[in-house]
Amino acid sequence: MNYSETIDYLYSAAPAFTKVGAVAYKPGLYTTEALDKHAGHPHKDYLTVHIAGSNGKGSCSHTIAAILQTAGLKVGLYTSPHLITFRERIRVNGEIISEEYIVNWVERNKEFFEPLHPSFFELTTAMALEYFRDSNIDIAVIEVGLGGRLDCTNIITPILSVITNISFDHTQFLGNTLAAIASEKAGIIKPGVPVVIGETTPETRHVFQEKATELNAPIRFAEDNKFILDGDFELQGLYQEKNRQTILNCLIPLARQLKARGISICNATEKVKYAMAHICELTGLMGRWQTLNSKPLIICDTGHNVAGWEYLSKQIIETLSSLPDNGNKALRIVFGMVDDKDINSVMKLLPKKATYYFTQAETHRAIPSATVADIAKLHSLTGNTYNSVPAAYEAALNNSTPDDMLFIGGSSYVVADLLTYLHQSSGNL
């Protein structure tokens, strides 16, 4: 098989949550442990940082990876979902995994894994852990796929666990209370391993504290330890200030853990500032309040739930207000969601004074654009419908003046379709 055939095989042989949703969700570690044993437990050959959370875990994962890279370490980074190419999920010092490695890994292992009927994420996790060993990395930053306790990434024993925050997301798997969701994510806390908690609520704080106490894991709440760091921060979303506090709180226990293993980070403050100013260059991060054009101002963001849109709506309005107004400034929003999100609660947060271009991403999980538009009407939001993200984007762009603001979002998959379209159209972003 060539690379394209191999990726098609992976999607057809193993159900992918990104493609088909709930039927692909496979809780538990049995299959992952079997794959891990078959590979010789590769994650034991390097250090790891494990990151969970409802929002912000992607930004935090990339930022911590960037900081570690800037400190001179060889860093693996495993995140999901991808936006343009599958290869984005697995990186070493920002470089995506090669097509050749993916093809060879599948050919070498499929006879073993086919009888196990693994999920897509179980396979990609096994591939990532083995690739990092083969790349002789020093440390890997591993982002949880979904939840924590039963997520297949939870076979690792990290030197630091991180939980960014808790909000209502994936409730059909994780529970329908914040405490229940927190309990699932607290499942990544390991005996004696420091854990940093980004944000809490009265319902979740005690869950983390009790789990950490039970496992004798030193716990640090970012809310209790505010840091001030001046600098040029590349990630400009309002919600990134919360993420920065989480990340800065990680640095103290992380530095201690590295020092105990003979790894010293010198000039740490300057390295942190540099990393935070060059995250996208260092790690390839995309889709976080990403500016694609200036006139008109075009921004995309992968925020996809209520917690994300509480910040996004405010920032969209603030950004629009900051633009020069020659009398014809308008806000245009290309918007779509997937079917496991609370669309009505998100709709309540969307800016009312905007022209909407309702769309659907190329995934079976996408809510049809006509349905999105019908729900939007209940919230006094109006606009036309489009059957693809590129069609909606081009319509919005053609209607825009240089003074306008155009925002694209509502789902990671909407942003993925947009960036893929732009990448294919121009060869670069």
pLDDT at 83: 95
pLDDT band for position 24 (50/70/90)? very low
**Residue 327 confidence class, pLDDT cut points 50, 70, 90:** confident
Structure tokens of 197? 């908690």
* 3-state class percentages of the chain: helix first, strand second, coil last, to nearest 5: 50, 15, 40
Give 356-381 as a DSSP string.
Answer: EEE---SSTTBPPHHHHHHHHHTTT-
**pLDDT-derived band at 325, boundaries 50, 70, 90:** confident
231 membership: H or E segment, kind and range: none
pLDDT for the residue 427 = 56
Q: Are 211 and 189 in contact, with CB atoms under 8 Å apart? A: yes
Q: What angle do CA 215, 216, 220 make, to 5 degrees?
A: 105
For the cut 70, the answer to whether the pLDDT of residue 409 exceeds it is yes
Helix (H) or strand (E) holding 154: none
Local structure of 200: helix, strand or coil? coil
Lowest mean pLDDT across 197-211, 260-274, 394-408: 260-274
Q: What is the model's pLDDT at position 266?
A: 64
Say which DSSP state 355 is in: E
pLDDT at residue 171 in the model: 52
Q: Can you tell me the distance from the alpha carbon of 130 to that of 277, in angstroms, rounded to the nearest whole number?
A: 30
**Band (126; pLDDT cuts 50, 70, 90):** very high
pLDDT digits (tens, 9 = 90+) for 30-57: 999 999 999 999 999 999 999 999 888 9
Rounded to the nearest 10 degrees, how much is the dihedral formed by the CA atoms of 331, 334, 338, 341?
A: 0
Give me the domains of the chain, ranges plus CATH numbers.
Answer: 3-283 (3.40.1190.10), 290-426 (3.90.190.20)
Average pLDDT, the chain: 91
Query: What is the largest distance, in Å, between two alpha-carbon atoms of the chain?
Result: 65
pLDDT computed for residue 239 by the predictor: 81
pLDDT of residue 174: 64
**Residue 130: is its pLDDT beyond 60?**
yes
Q: Report the pLDDT averaged over residues 408-415.
A: 96
Predicted local confidence at residue 246, as pLDDT: 95
Element containing residue 50 per DSSP (H, E):
strand 47-52
Between 22 and 189, residue with greater pLDDT: 189
Q: CA-CA distance, 422 to 429, in Å (whole number)?
A: 6
| Residue 293: strand pairing partners | 298
Percent of the chain past pLDDT 90, that is, above it, reads: 76
Yes or no: say if 345 and 306 are a contact pair by the CB < 8 Å rule: yes
Alpha carbon separation from 297 to 195, 221, 303 (Å, rounded): 39, 37, 18
Label residue 13 by pLDDT band (50, 70, 90): confident
Would you say residue 428 has pLDDT above 80?
A: no
**Per-residue pLDDT, 17:** 38
302 secondary structure, DSSP code: -
Residue 22 confidence (pLDDT): 43
Mean pLDDT of 95-122: 95
